[in-house]
Amino acid sequence: MNIFQLPAITIFRTGDLVKFLTLLDAFFNLLLFRTLLSVGVEYWAQEGLKQGIYHKNFMFNPPALIA
């Protein structure tokens, strides 16, 4: 439901609005963080495979650190 399509009668108390926006902000931050994290892990794994590394410490080292 779009917040701008709410009926005009709906009046947020300031506290409710702040709480709502805070939750929204936290949600989007989490979403962004998870997206970046998964992209990063994907890239890291691809790089590792490209370099043909099957190192016992691969799970703990980014590919750049394994020579």
Average pLDDT on 28-57 reads 71
Per residue in 11-33, pLDDT tens? 556 667 777 778 888 888 777 78
Question: Considering only CA atoms, which of 33, 3, 32, 7 is closest in space to residue 17?
Answer: 3
- Global pTM reads 0.35
Asked if the model's pLDDT at residue 7 lies above 60, the reply is no
Average pLDDT of the residues of the chain: 67
What is the signed CA dihedral for 31, 33, 36, 41, rounded to 10 degrees?
A: -110
